[in-house]
Amino acid sequence: MTFQVYDTTLRDGAQREGLSYSVVDKLAVARLLDDFGVGFIEGGWPGAVPKDTEFFRRARTELELRHAILVAFGATRKAGVAVAADPQVRGLLDAQTPAVALVAKADLRHVERALRTTAAENLAMIHDTVTHLAAGGRRVFVDGEHFFDGYRHDPAYTAAVVETALAAGAERFVLCDTNGGMLPSQITAAIADVTARTGLAPELLGIHCQNDTACAVANTIAAVEAGVRHFQGTANGYGERPGNADIFAVVANLQLKLGLPVLPDGCLEQMVRVSHAIAEIANIAPDTHQAYAGAAAFAHKAGLHASAIKVDPLLYNHVDPSVVGNDMRILVTEMAGRASVELKSRELGLDLAGHPEALTSVTKRVKELEAGGWSFEAADASFELLVRSELPDRAAPRPFALESYRVLVEHREDGAVVSEATVKIRVRGERVIATAEGNGPVNALDEALRVGLARHYPELREFELADYKVRILEGSHGTGAVTRVLVETAGAGRDWTTVGVHPNVVEASWHALVDALTYGLDRTRV
């Protein structure tokens, strides 16, 4: 029996605090999930949420899915209401999706206290709704809400819920760890017990885990190892409270660690692209340290690691990063040894292996600068300029020489704050004085420098200050503290980051800005 990879990013994942998808966003996320090769995409709750109703309407003409089947989510009929008369059940049929997912109470306490109905009526609600939808030509999945908590409270009733759903025609009954309180061993034991009690094959079951114990991925893997062949998750683990099982980590673990073919060929390597694109749509910064998909997932900082990686990259990587669309990175810090510097330089297209003196010099210089507060692990452009300065005929030409700069901040009577900067520089033998205003001293300095260089370097018009970060370094306090500035610049279809450090934040910013322009102008010549 094949695996069913079921994604609920657009429904359960959208319950994450601070996350809200527009209909256009949902359509874009669905396309990305299809690129990743998931088998089912749960799009939302039609009839109950107007935005979701609109999504399903537009999806019929605007989504061309190659791998996935669209699923509408809803609930069983209400207690005491005929299934054909229940408007939200009608909404599921009106969505016109090939499959539907029903949430049903699997915990008798919830049946009696939340639904305020009887155990028998709850079973009838499940049976009637599944039968009705299946008769309408829909594939039906039933999500057993609070299954594991209910199973510990009254295993006989919870088993009856499972049997009722499957007997009525449900394709899978999904065991939901709704409160997220389970551990892997408890998941395994519950699956073994319910299959023994009911005589059902574990392949007819599914698994849906919340991450309240930080075990959602592990719990999902445990369920699959226990025989479950349908698993649910969300992109990047989005969801309510601490979130859901990260479908990227689940899929990668199953496919790469257990050798289970859960995705179509060629889809696994789309992971990083899809993960980061969904994060952008959600307006959530990608988790740098996310397993498999994070930018730091295969980043190495310690010199000991780098020495081993130089011999064989897999000595310190648990998989080849490229299989999930990621890259290995060497971080250059105060921990760096010669191997780290050499590997990082090679990553940037610079060969220090044939220049041992330059390698020694760069390594020493990095350690000295890092001890003074500089950080190159997030500033590849500054590191590259440093390396090139030590290599014969590879140093990037400085576009100007500084004579002086001055920055003024004026707080006016009307409350307006205006910054003005003046730079005096020499450019190709010419002395240039330029002045500009900005919305802050750094912005003003950046603008003045661009004004002074514009005639000689018109390509500067393509450069944009994309991000600016200031950090007070550990061990320094107050207004006299040493500050580190990171400047991210975008232009000509790429972006780069530079660093500057100084007790004066404007001077630290100046170092980062000069590196940014130097690097960018040099790259335009390549």
3-class SS letters over 103-123: EEECCHHHHHHCCCCCHHHHH
- Convert the pLDDT of each residue in 434-468 to its tens digit: 999 998 899 999 999 999 999 999 998 888 888 88
pLDDT at 3: 96
Identity of the residue numbered 77: R
Give the span between the Cα atoms of 130 and 109, in whole angstroms. 22
Q: Residue 494: phi, psi to the nearest 5?
A: -150, 175
The per-residue pLDDT of the chain, averaged, comes to 89
Average of per-residue pLDDT across 365-374: 78
Predicted TM-score of the model (pTM): 0.70
Nearest residue to 341 (alpha-carbon basis) of 309, 297, 294, 373: 309
Average of per-residue pLDDT across 319-325: 88
pLDDT at 137: 97
At which residue do the structure tokens 């190892």 appear? 225
Give the span between the Cα atoms of 519 and 259, in whole angstroms. 44
Return the H-helix or E-strand segment holding 75.
Answer: strand 69-75
For residue 340, pLDDT over 80 is answered with no
For residue 48, pLDDT over 70 is answered with yes
Name beta bridge partners: 498.
487
- Convert the pLDDT of each residue in 90-138 to its tens digit: 999 999 999 999 999 999 999 999 999 999 999 999 999 999 999 999 9
For residue 312, pLDDT over 70 is answered with no
pLDDT at 304: 47
The CA distances from residue 47 to 42, 95, 122, 134, 342, in Å, are 15, 9, 22, 19, 60
For residue 375, pLDDT over 60 is answered with yes
pLDDT at 88: 94
Q: Are 129 and 79 in contact (CB under 8 A)?
A: no
Give the span between the Cα atoms of 32 and 14, in whole angstroms. 16
Q: Give the SS3 label for residue 365.
A: helix
Give the span between the Cα atoms of 395 and 389, in whole angstroms. 4
Average of per-residue pLDDT across 343-362: 78
Looking at per-residue confidence, does 482 or 147 come out higher?
Answer: 147
The CA distances from residue 189 to 161, 245, 252, 286, in Å, are 18, 19, 24, 35
For residue 240, pLDDT over 90 is answered with yes
Looking at per-residue confidence, does 475 or 8 come out higher?
Answer: 8
Give the span between the Cα atoms of 358 and 120, in whole angstroms. 80
Tokens of 391: 């290599």
Confidence tier at 45 by pLDDT (50, 70, 90): very high
For residue 53, pLDDT over 90 is answered with yes
Looking at per-residue confidence, does 236 or 375 come out higher?
Answer: 236
Domains and CATH numbers, the chain: 4-282 (3.20.20.70), 299-390 (no CATH), 400-456 (3.30.160), 460-526 (3.30.160.340)
For residue 266, pLDDT over 80 is answered with yes
pLDDT at 283: 84
Confidence tier at 351 by pLDDT (50, 70, 90): confident
Q: Are 434 and 444 in contact (CB under 8 A)?
A: no
Mind spelling out the 3-state secondary structure of 128-164?
Answer: HHHHHHHHCCCEEEEEEECHHHHHHHCHHHHHHHHHH
- Convert the pLDDT of each residue in 198-236 to its tens digit: 999 999 999 999 999 999 999 999 999 999 999 999 999
Average of per-residue pLDDT across 395-419: 91
Q: What number of other Cβ atoms are within 10 A of residue 303's Cβ?
A: 17
pLDDT at 366: 79
Positive/negative CA dihedral, 367, 369, 374, 376: negative
Return the H-helix or E-strand segment holding 496.
Answer: strand 494-502
Give the span between the Cα atoms of 75 and 86, in whole angstroms. 10
Give the span between the Cα atoms of 133 and 88, in whole angstroms. 12
On the 0-12 / 13-18 / 19+ scale of CB atoms within 10 A, 66 is exposed
- Convert the pLDDT of each residue in 13-31 to its tens digit: 999 999 999 999 999 999 9
Cα 124 vs. chain centroid, distance in angstroms? 41
Secondary structure percentages of the chain, helix, strand, coil, to 5? 45, 20, 35
